[in-house]
Amino acid sequence: MSISSKQLICAVSTLLHIAVRKKLIHRRSSLIVELLLHHSISVSSAVSGASCVATTVLVPAAVYFDPQTVTVEAGSVVTYIGQARVVEQVDAAGVQLAWRGERTTETQLAPGEPVTLGEESYVVHIADGSRLQLVADRSAYAAQTAQIAAFERHVNGLWGVFTVSVLSVVFLAGFAFLPSRY
């Protein structure tokens, strides 16, 4: 024995109306269940039993819910999902809300490597091993790192000249005190 969808809807509707009459469930609960079924169902009682007629009709939301009318304009503040939001734009398509909030984003950073945060691209510079700097101008960063590398090369060259000079002085002083063969 198979049951059609209309017979099933009729049976569910009849049970809902009986439960409402006997005050087993609240009237609003049964209306929400009927709304979920997307059917407008009418039940009539007869002496021999209940008959059911089910038709597929979309029912306006105002039948089930108490609609509220709110007037807003651009720049006004409304509460949405428990937070204050600013109305940015109102047009026939809808209302556009804006708000600021915290958002955590994790990103891997390495010195000298480019990183994109949001829509901006930066170069990472770690100064003194404890301070992080994000540089927006890549060409200025590249020029400065080239100058720093040249300076370090010059300083290392000076240390090399100093080391060779000290070793030369030590060898000359050592050769001066060597005994003569003649």
Over the stretch 2-20, which tens digit does the pLDDT of each residue have? 556 566 666 666 666 666 5
Q: What is the mean pLDDT of residues 54-76?
A: 73
Q: Which of 52-61, 81-90, 104-113 has the lowest mean pLDDT?
A: 52-61
Tell me, yes or no, whether 178 lies in a domain. Answer: no
| C-alpha–C-alpha distance, residues 120 and 134, integer Å | 11
What are the two backbone dihedrals, phi and then psi, of residue 61, each rounded to the nearest 5 degrees?
-65, -25
Who contacts 109 (Cβ-Cβ below 8 Å, separation ≥6)?
115, 124, 132
Please count the structural domains in the chain.
3
Whether the model pTM is above 0.85: no
Q: Are residues 77 and 55 in the same domain?
A: no
Q: Are residues 124 and 163 in the same domain?
A: yes
pLDDT of residue 106: 83
In the structure encoding, which two tokens stand for residue 3, read together?
């049951």
Other C-beta atoms within 10 Å of 9: how many?
Answer: 19
| C-alpha–C-alpha distance, residues 118 and 113, integer Å | 16
Q: What is the mean pLDDT of residues 39-62?
A: 51
Q: Are residues 120 and 152 in the same domain?
A: yes
Residue 88's domain spans which residues? 73-99
pLDDT in tens, 157-182: 999 999 999 999 999 999 998 888 77
Other C-beta atoms within 10 Å of 52: how many?
Answer: 17
Tell me, yes or no, whether 67 lies in a domain. Answer: no
pLDDT confidence of 101, banded at 50, 70, 90?
A: confident
